């Protein structure tokens, strides 16, 4: 294992976890670089049902490979790797060659300044297309509004975390692609400090496993997950207020023109109350989700 001395603190036993599905060409180039830059680190490739030479390449590089008989998803691979890792510090990076092993030292240096999670934040040129870039910009803006802290890259898969803190939220992580969103919001909710380090992401080797049509709805749900993982009332109260104001506007118009209260206004006011009550219940559920019995 690796021991890192930075400043007055000690980061020891580093584990690097790479989820991979049919990323053999990228791993063949990436794993030797990882081993060269961090010779004492525990490196774990979580093979998510690959049908290529992933296992052979890992063996030739002296890297541990955890294989699944079939694909269970990126998040599932992350959870399996986090459970198997023995390090106090976990570094997650994609197995497709986008992330530079040299940037790991920068993440660890920031982690050693008192943060519990450090995320590699991509700039616009590192985004995988205009559509993905715009979606990530929206996610970052919404997460910043919800948490009150700057969120520079909510969906980045390149991050360093303290293992004990990260494992607290394994039961919350989905098996799909939104584990970065869930883990980031969980850290903010639990008042674990999060930092961002600017990085340049290279063009991935091979074809992306994300399909816009198939995963579009899934990523849209991330927006609602951002709110429900942090503070549901911040989403439901504005929605409730909107229904109330629409009902009031409808009532004002019908009263001036017809001198009466219509069913439309009543329905919108009822919706406002229902949405607000749902928000209250969601807030209580969220609080219980993060509760830890001492």
pLDDT of 31: 95
Residue 215 has pLDDT above 60, yes or no: no
pLDDT tens by residue, 160-180: 999 999 999 998 888 877 789
pLDDT of 287: 76
Phi, psi of 190, rounded to the nearest 5 degrees: -90, 10
Residues 6+ apart with CB under 8 A from 51: 22
User: Which letter, b or e, does each residue of 187-202 get, where b requires 16 or more Cβ atoms within 10 Å of its Cβ?
Assistant: bbbeebebbbbebebe
What span, in angstroms and rounded, lies between the C-alpha atoms of 109 and 106?
5
Least confident of 17-26, 27-36, 129-138, 262-271: 129-138
The residues spanned by each domain of the chain are: 3-230, 233-289
The whole-chain average pLDDT of the chain stands at 85
- Annotation: CATH topology of 3-230: Spore Coat Polysaccharide Biosynthesis Protein SpsA; Chain A (3.90.550)
What span, in angstroms and rounded, lies between the C-alpha atoms of 25 and 2?
27
Residues 177-187: what's their mean pLDDT? 87
């Amino acid at each position: 294992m690796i021991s890192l001395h930075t400043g007055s603190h000690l980061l020891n036993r580093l584990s690097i976890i790479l989820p991979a599905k049919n990323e053999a060409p990228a791993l063949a180039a990436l794993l030797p670089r990882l081993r060269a830059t961090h010779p004492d680190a525990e490196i774990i490739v979580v093979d998510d049902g690959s049908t290529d030479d992933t296992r052979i390449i890992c063996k030739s590089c002296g890297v541990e490979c955890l294989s699944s008989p079939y694909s269970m998803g990126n998040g599932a691979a992350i959870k399996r790797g986090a459970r198997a890792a023995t390090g106090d510090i976990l570094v997650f990076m994609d197995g497709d060659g986008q992330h530079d092993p040299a940037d790991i030292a920068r993440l660890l240096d920031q982690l050693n300044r008192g943060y519990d999670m450090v995320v590699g934040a991509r700039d616009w040129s590192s985004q995988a297309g205009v559509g993905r870039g715009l979606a990530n910009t929206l996610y970052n803006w919404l997460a910043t509004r919800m948490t009150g802290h700057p969120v520079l890259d909510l969906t980045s898969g390149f991050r360093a975390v303290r293992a004990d803190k990260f494992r607290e939220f394994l039961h919350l992580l989905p098996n799909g692609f939104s584990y970065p969103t869930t883990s980031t919001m969980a850290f903010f909710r639990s008042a674990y400090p999060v930092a961002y380090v600017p990085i340049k992401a290279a063009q991935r080797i091979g074809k992306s496993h994300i399909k816009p049509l198939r995963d579009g709805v899934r990523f849209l749900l991330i927006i609602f997950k951002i709110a429900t993982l942090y503070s549901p009332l911040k989403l439901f109260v504005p929605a409730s207020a909107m229904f109330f104001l629409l009902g009031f506007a409808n009532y004002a118009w019908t009263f001036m023109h017809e001198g009466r209260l219509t069913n439309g206004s009543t329905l919108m006011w009822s919706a406002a109350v229902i949405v607000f009550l749902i928000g209250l219940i969601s807030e209580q559920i969220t609080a219980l989700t993060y509760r830890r019995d001492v």
